[in-house]
């Protein structure tokens, strides 16, 4: 990766094949399991032994009895004692009896591990089928409901069960139980129920990671999972199309308001430098350093990707500048002074955690294009709209976290490494987003249109680039394109993960729209419908 080779030569050269998956990614050192299990009274042993065998059970309601004890996949492969000791269970879950593939097999045998992760893997495919084996949510959701209802006996009961089963290693169920327990334990400490839980374990996040490991985790995850790479690909292709339509006599200014941390831009810079029609007069990247608390938004102290991008741009003869601003309103104040500049705002997994002023500031900048990428079910921090209680909100967050953990396990092929630990620890911050409105793609459309934007169709070249990208990843990933202007979604096992959409200020979109199309859109607009 020549844009970083002089200072961080340890990184893989992913620009040679931007969306390839090198073999060395599969080689990760094993790391020891953190022991954060709590001892519990003997009379709970039967409950825990039963829940450990859960792989399929009806979803528990808020205060219904605990789910039953259906048979798990590991019972078909290996029989365990009916009531093993806590130490034995921990050794099995952590794979302490060995290393490498044998240890991974032992962990996958406990709690309904997946049968395979390769391309086209069909294990647990489909949203409804996978829910049958998701026992962690069947414990965590009633736990959240019991905290919400101040049901101390049920809280105590589920707390002991989760403390025994939770583990930062193993399959997605054990990991979700671990991260979910950490989140709900923090909530429990402020609930005033008089229940003392074990101290929360130390979990690696972006902000607490050393910059070198942080950079390595970003690039490795970008290469083996489309979670961020897919919206990056669509965004870059759309920015290229906007720059091409403006011609080479104009400058290109990209406002980076997202969670890319610089990984997205080398591919775009290279594509601009190789464009047949020539490069823009100047390419400016403005990075918004807002104090947003969104997961994946923070960076460790001392991390700065700007010098590496500048050196790379110089090596490919691209006139490139990069600057930073504290917030988007500050960027709005620095509006373009000439019309020879194409302005594109790229907002990725971020707009939902900041106030409505963020969208308003985007509109005031009068951009030529806005690329909005968000989770399929995400937070809106404005404090308006469809709020949910603790139990309901946690259930939705746990759903997102399950998709991340399951797809990440497939991406890393079940292996443990420091990069995986960092990515999963940062993703777990999703579980702590207690306040705000949960919104999907339709709610985002309402908000953007309310601020004066009109949705644009993603070009065929961008769609084809996204489709080609997904061929590099696990076969359970798929792309779903909407109608004429409905964005493009990334789905995992039949469930929405993220979506990418394009927007323009309403006046510019109407001016660019053919006359017949404008008349057709006006005909179906609620403002022009005849009264009943």
Between these two residues, 118 and 358, which has the higher pLDDT value? Answer: 358
**pLDDT by residue (tens digit) across 173-184?**
999 999 999 999
Domains of the chain with CATH codes: 34-202+390-432 (no CATH), 223-387+436-528 (3.40.50.150)
pLDDT in tens, 213-260: 999 999 999 999 999 999 999 999 999 999 998 877 889 999 999 899
* Most confident stretch, 24-38, 281-295, 322-336: 281-295
Please determine, for residue 525, whether its predicted confidence score (pLDDT) is greater than 60: no
The mean pLDDT value for 102-120 works out to 40
Q: How confident is the model at residue 265 (pLDDT cuts 50, 70, 90)?
A: very high
- Structure tokens that stand for 453 in this block: 């934007």
Instruction: Specify the pLDDT at position 418.
Output: 97
Residue with tokens 């990843």: 473
Instruction: Tell me the pLDDT tens digit for each residue of 417-426.
Output: 999 999 999 9
What pLDDT sits at residue 246? 82
The CA-atom distances, in angstroms, between 434 and each of 396, 397, 431 are 11, 9, 8
Per-residue confidence (pLDDT) for residue 383, from 0 to 100: 42
C-alpha–C-alpha distance, residues 409 and 417, integer Å? 11
To the nearest 10°, report the CA torsion of 209, 497, 368, 352. -60
Position 510 scores a pLDDT of 53
- What is the chain's mean pLDDT, rounded? 74
Whether pTM exceeds 0.85: no
How would residue 504 be classed by pLDDT, with cut points 50, 70 and 90?
Answer: very high
% of the chain surpassing 90 pLDDT: 45
Determine the pLDDT at residue 8: 42
313: phi then psi, degrees, rounded to nearest 5: -60, -40
Residue 485 has pLDDT above 80, yes or no: no
Residue 133 and residue 176 in contact, taking contact as beta carbons nearer than 8 Å: no
- Give the pLDDT confidence of 423-457 residue by residue, as tens digits: 999 999 999 876 555 566 778 888 889 989 999 99
Handedness of CA 141, 142, 148, 152 (dihedral sign): negative
Q: How confident is the model at residue 294 (pLDDT cuts 50, 70, 90)?
A: confident
The pair of structure tokens assigned to 456 is 């644009």
Tokens of 179: 């991260």
């Amino acid at each position: 990766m020549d844009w970083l080779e002089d200072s961080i030569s340890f990184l893989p050269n992913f620009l040679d094949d931007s969306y390839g998956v090198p073999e060395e990614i599969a080689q990760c050192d094993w790391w020891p399991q953190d022991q954060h299990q709590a001892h519990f009274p003997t009379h709970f042993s039967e409950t825990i032994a039963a829940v450990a065998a859960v792989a399929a059970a009806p979803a528990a309601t808020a205060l219904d009895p605990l789910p039953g004890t259906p048979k798990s996949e590991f019972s078909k492969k290996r029989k365990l004692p009916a009531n093993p000791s806590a130490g034995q269970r921990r050794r099995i879950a952590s794979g302490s009896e060995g290393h490498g593939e044998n240890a991974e097999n032992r962990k996958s045998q406990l709690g309904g591990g997946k049968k395979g992760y390769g391309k086209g893997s069909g294990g647990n495919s489909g949203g409804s089928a996978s829910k049958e084996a998701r026992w962690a949510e069947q414990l965590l959701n009633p736990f959240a409901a019991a905290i919400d209802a101040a049901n101390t006996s049920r809280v105590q009961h589920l707390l002991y069960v989760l403390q025994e089963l939770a583990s930062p290693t193993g399959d997605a169920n054990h990991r979700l139980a671990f991260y979910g327990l950490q989140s709900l334990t923090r909530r429990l400490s402020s609930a005033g129920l008089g229940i003392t839980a074990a101290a929360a374990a130390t979990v690696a996040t972006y902000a607490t990671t050393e910059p070198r490991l942080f950079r390595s985790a970003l690039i490795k995850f970008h290469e083996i999972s489309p979670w961020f790479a897919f919206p990056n690909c669509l965004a870059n292709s759309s920015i290229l199309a906007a720059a091409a339509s403006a011609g080479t006599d104009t400058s290109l200014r990209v406002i980076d308001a997202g969670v890319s941390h610089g990984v997205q831009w080398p591919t775009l810079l290279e594509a601009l430098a190789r464009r047949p029609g020539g490069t823009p007069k100047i390419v400016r990247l403005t990075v918004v350093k807002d104090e947003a608390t969104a997961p994946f938004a923070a960076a460790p102290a001392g991390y700065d990707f700007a010098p590496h991008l500048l050196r790379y741009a110089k090596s490919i003869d691209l006139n490139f500048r990069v600057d930073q601003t504290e917030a988007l309103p500050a960027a709005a104040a620095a509006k373009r002074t000439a019309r020879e500049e194409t302005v594109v705002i790229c907002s990725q997994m971020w707009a939902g955690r900041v106030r409505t002023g963020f969208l308003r500031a985007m509109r005031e900048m009068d951009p030529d294009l806005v690329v909005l990428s968000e989770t399929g079910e995400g937070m809106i921090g404005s404090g308006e709209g469809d709020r949910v209680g603790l139990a309901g909100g946690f259930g939705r967050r746990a759903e997102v976290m399950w998709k991340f953990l399951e797809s990440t396990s497939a991406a890393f092929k079940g292996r443990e490494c420091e990069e995986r630990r960092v990515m999963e620890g940062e993703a777990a911050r999703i579980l702590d987003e207690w306040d705000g409105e949960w919104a999907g793609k339709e709610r985002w459309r309402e908000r953007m249109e309310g601020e004066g934007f009109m949705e644009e169709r993603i070009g065929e070249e961008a769609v084809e680039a996204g489709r080609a990208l997904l061929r590099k990843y696990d076969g359970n990933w798929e792309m779903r394109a909407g109608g004429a202007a409905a964005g493009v979604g990334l789905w995992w096992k039949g469930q929405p993960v993220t979506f990418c959409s394009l927007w323009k200020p309403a006046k510019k979109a109407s001016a660019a729209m053919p006359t017949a199309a404008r008349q057709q859109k006006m005909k179906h607009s609620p403002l022009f419908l005849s009264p009943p």
